[in-house]
A and B are shown apart, each in its own frame.
Chain A
Amino acid sequence: MRWESWSQFWDMGGYGLYVWGSMAVTALCMGLEVWLARQAQRQALALACTEAEEAS
């Protein structure tokens, strides 16, 4: 470990806003993408189920 304290870690030598901003926006986008993909899968399944009910 090369950090002496958490505050030093978050500060990133004065670049905290830029470094953590980059990490945060990446995590946010990936989280959103996973959430949207799950929604799409749920919708597609529901659609297929309705179709199956109508057919039977």
Chain B
Amino acid sequence: MAIRWFYYAAPQNFYALAGRLWPWLAALATALGVAGLWVGFALAPEDAQQGEGYRIIFVHVPVSWMSMVIYLAMAFWSILGLTFNTRLSGMMTRALAPSGAMFTFLSLWTGALWGKPMWGTWWVWDARLTSELILFFLYLGYIALTSAIDDVRRADRAGALIAIVGAINVPIIYFSVKWWNTLHQGASVSLTRSPSMAQLMLWGMLLMALSFWVYTLAIVTYRVRSLILERERHTAWVQALPEVSGAKK
């Protein structure tokens, strides 16, 4: 592969790459989202058991997946950061955290809105819901800790520990519906067997999941640029940027 990993590990080079990438990612996420909503709300049939109420799935499942994927991505960048001591890793982890917290919040919130009509309760302390709530606190803990330490490199290292240790919670969330007797249902989609959903429902959900995935890539590449600017603002390359030096006149 000709991708120059170490070249783009330098904040200066990644800043330029991210600037070129994010508008395309944002456009793609929007297109996928429109397609997903169309399939989910205009084409997909009603559910035999839950009627139209099941349509919450088109946001609930994608946001829940993202809440777990983003935490794993944070752990991945943290391991890279601690191993190679690259500056970009810490910034990537920090850029991911707010989106992860938001998706976890949305997972809990849309879950409550689904639980009320179907189970008769907004909340229940079962393993799936409780472990997802713990994930939310892990995100908040990461954000609070990293913003409380003034030295950014030290903050990154402390945060990396939370990200790595906390990652153990992700498989617990994922397998909680198998390991314990939960009110929350098991997976409708898995890699090992064919999905237990109608085709159009499945397509709507997958399109929405893809849309949220690309949206996350877009917002994280956008956000990491602000972090790079903020941290590297004393350097010659930032001051030579047209958007910085051009503003002087």
Contacts and interface: CB of A to CB of B under 8 A. Distances in A.
Interface of A: 1-3, 9, 12-15, 18-19, 21-23, 25-26, 29-30, 33-34, 36-37, 40-41, 43-45, 47-49, 51-53, 55-56
A12 B44 CA distance: 13
Contacts of B238: 48, 51-52
B53 A48 contact: no
Given A18-B114, A48-B229, 20 more contacts: A2-B42, A13-B46, A14-B51, A15-B52, A15-B53, A19-B53, A19-B55, A22-B60, A30-B102, A34-B219, A37-B223, A41-B222, A44-B230, A45-B247, A48-B238, A48-B241, A49-B244, A51-B238, A51-B239, A52-B238
A41 B226 contact: yes
B59 A22 contact: yes
Contacts of B239: 48, 51-52, 55
25 contacts: A2-B45, A3-B42, A12-B52, A12-B53, A15-B53, A18-B114, A18-B116, A19-B52, A22-B60, A25-B106, A25-B110, A26-B59, A26-B106, A26-B110, A33-B98, A33-B99, A36-B98, A37-B223, A37-B226, A44-B229, A45-B243, A49-B247, A51-B233, A52-B238, A55-B239
A47 to B, nearest CB: 6
B248 A53 contact: yes
A30 B215 CA distance: 9
Given A13-B51, A15-B51, A25-B109, A45 B244 contact: yes
Interface in B188-246: 215, 219, 222-223, 225-227, 229-230, 233-234, 238-239, 241, 243-245
B105 interface: yes
Interface residues of B, number: 43
A21 B109 CA distance: 9
A42 to B, nearest CB: 9
Contacts of A49: 244, 247-248
Contacts of B116: 18
A29 B226 contact: no
A29 B152 CA distance: 27
